[in-house]
Amino acid sequence: MTLRTLLAGRVLVDAQGTLLGPSRISIGTDGRIVTVEPVPAELLSPEEAGRLIMPALSNAHDHGRGLRTLAFGAPDQSLESWLPDLRRHPRVDPWLNAVVALGRIALSGVAAVNHCHNTQDGRALLAEAEAVSRAARDVGIRVGFGWPFFDRNPQVYGDLARLAAFYPEEQRAGILASADGMRDCATNFSWFEQAKALEHDYFTLQYHPVAPQWTKPETLEAIARASAADGRRVHTHMLETELQRDWSRANCPGGVVSWLDSLGLLNEQLTVAHAIWLDDRDIALLAERGVIVSVNLSSNLRLRSGMPQIGRLLDADVRVAFGLDGMALDDDEDMLRELRLAWHVGARETKWGMGRDPGKILKGVFDWGRQSILGAASTPAHTVAAGQDADLLILRFGVLAADCVMPDPDPVRLVLGRARAEHVECLLIRGRPVVQGGQCTGIDLRALEARLVEEARDAFARSPASERDIAQAKSAIGRYYCCE
């Protein structure tokens, strides 16, 4: 067997913070770790001695936005007023959009991502899924593809007739007809069956009812039955904004969490994204059912949604993972920065602000996030140990610790306190270097980014969105919610 060998001065083995000193890691041709063994420090070069090897990260909720929202004029604002601005997104090659997004995500040490797909053209969903499948293989990153089920409330959470009343009379019929073109449940399941042919080692399908307010009850029940039968995971948005909470209270008996439970969806196969507006009963039920909650702090700040209850979720033993949602705070897809934000926000609620066990943050980005993407294919704990997949992140720890005066600084505190994508030396997925020296190995990301921008600018110029229609939609939606 031909082995790939890695040498490092430090190894962070698992979320519990188990640390090893100078070590040699051998990886087999099957992409699994064969051995992890100590070596004398003097055998390591200065570069090797300055490495920290750890489990690769996961991004538990994203949308694959190669073209960032600010780039096409969708400024940060409340979610409900932001959605009409997404109409400005120019039509681009879906492979190009996905490969750029996945490449950027990989650069910050992410080996697996939940991609909740937003279609550019709902009629072309199969073709767009094929493009993302290809992009996942080209980058070499593991993708859980959320197949969107969206068949309810296309413009607002509620009655389209009430919304239409805020439009000029000649436009009201078009508003009322906007629900007619939505993909029905039967069509979606039929296309989902066809899309299974697109699956490979780096691309698997999940059921993605976009959100309870955007999915019919009978569709949610059908997804629950399908997941129970085939073991596929389910991924949905839930309680992202106060308006969604208000809709839940008015439309879901006992609240949306209990309602999803009654439909058979609340179980270990489910991931819910955001989940900001929870009460104590909701949190207890999520914990009891083993649901994974993807916290998306940057996105929640940028879209004015509220602050996730990280401390309460962790204290209740909810399975908390972390996602970028395509909306990182610095618009840079840096998962290491996102962890720092989560760490500090979670620390607010503790005595003296000292923070909880950092292992709970690592658990989310090593284990729960990975499980939300890979499902049954993942092990209970993602560790640097013999027999595990060699999905490994190598950081330049010597750079991170360059100014430390202690002889043996705490790697966990430094990673959470200051690590950024620029500190990534290498990302290995199944033992293959996917990122090396700040570059993706399988694609020319810089060239693809330039090509995407050029294509988007051309499409934007050729077919600009109607600014009048967007302004009118935002005005009508604002009046609709203010008058509810």
- The 10s digit of each residue's pLDDT in 331-343 is 999 999 999 999 9
Query: Which pLDDT band, with edges at 50, 70 and 90, does 407 fall under?
Result: confident
Is residue 416 classed as helix, strand or coil in its secondary structure? helix
Query: Which pLDDT band, with edges at 50, 70 and 90, does 2 fall under?
Result: low
Q: How far is CA 366 from the centre of its chain?
A: 13
pLDDT at res. 181: 83
Query: How confident is the model over 77-100, as pLDDT tens digits?
Result: 999 999 999 999 999 999 999 999
Query: Which pLDDT band, with edges at 50, 70 and 90, does 119 fall under?
Result: very high
| Cβ count near 463 (within 10 Å) | 9
Nearest CA to 370 out of 110, 19, 25 is that of 110
Q: Please say whether the beta carbons of 295 and 318 come within 8 A.
A: no
pLDDT at res. 291: 98
Query: How confident is the model over 46-58, as pLDDT tens digits?
Result: 999 999 999 999 9
Helices 125-139 and 94-107: angle between axes, nearest 10 degrees: 40
**Does an H or E element contain 415, and which?**
helix 411-418
Nearest CA to 133 out of 148, 117, 149 is that of 117
Q: What is the greatest pairwise CA distance in the chain? A: 80
Token couple for 443: 């694609």
β-sheet bridge partners, residue 270? 234
Token couple for 127: 């073709």
Nearest CA to 234 out of 215, 267, 208 is that of 208
pLDDT at res. 349: 60
**Measured CA angle at 427 (ends 422, 425), to 5 deg:** 40
pLDDT at res. 483: 66
Half-sphere exposure of 28 (CA within 13 A, CB side): 11
Please state, in angstroms and as integers, the Cα–Cα distance from residue 469 to each residue in 153, 168, 243, 466, following that order: 19, 12, 23, 5
| Cβ count near 170 (within 10 Å) | 7
Which residue has tokens 């996945």?
102
Query: How confident is the model over 283-335, as pLDDT tens digits?
Result: 999 999 999 999 999 999 999 999 999 999 999 999 999 999 999 999 999 99
pLDDT at res. 379: 81
Nearest CA to 119 out of 150, 85, 140, 84 is that of 150
Residue 353 has pLDDT above 70, yes or no: no
Interacting residues of 37 by C-beta distance below 8 A, sequence separation 6+: 23, 24, 26
- The 10 Å CB-count burial string (b at 16+, else e) for 35-50 is ebeeeeeeebeeebbb
Which residue has tokens 């039967």?
186
Query: Which pLDDT band, with edges at 50, 70 and 90, does 354 fall under?
Result: low
pLDDT at res. 232: 97
Average pLDDT over residues 261-284: 97
Q: Please say whether the beta carbons of 342 and 295 come within 8 A.
A: yes
Question: What is the average pLDDT score of the chain?
Answer: 95
Nearest CA to 115 out of 94, 90, 84 is that of 94
Query: Which pLDDT band, with edges at 50, 70 and 90, does 380 fall under?
Result: confident
Is residue 317 classed as helix, strand or coil in its secondary structure? coil
Eight-class DSSP state of 119: P
Nearest CA to 266 out of 232, 292, 231, 296 is that of 292
Q: What percent of the chain has pLDDT over 90?
A: 93
Q: What is the pTM of this model?
A: 0.96
pLDDT at res. 347: 72
Query: Which pLDDT band, with edges at 50, 70 and 90, does 174 fall under?
Result: very high
pLDDT at res. 1: 42
Query: How confident is the model over 127-162, as pLDDT tens digits?
Result: 999 999 999 999 999 999 999 999 999 999 999 999
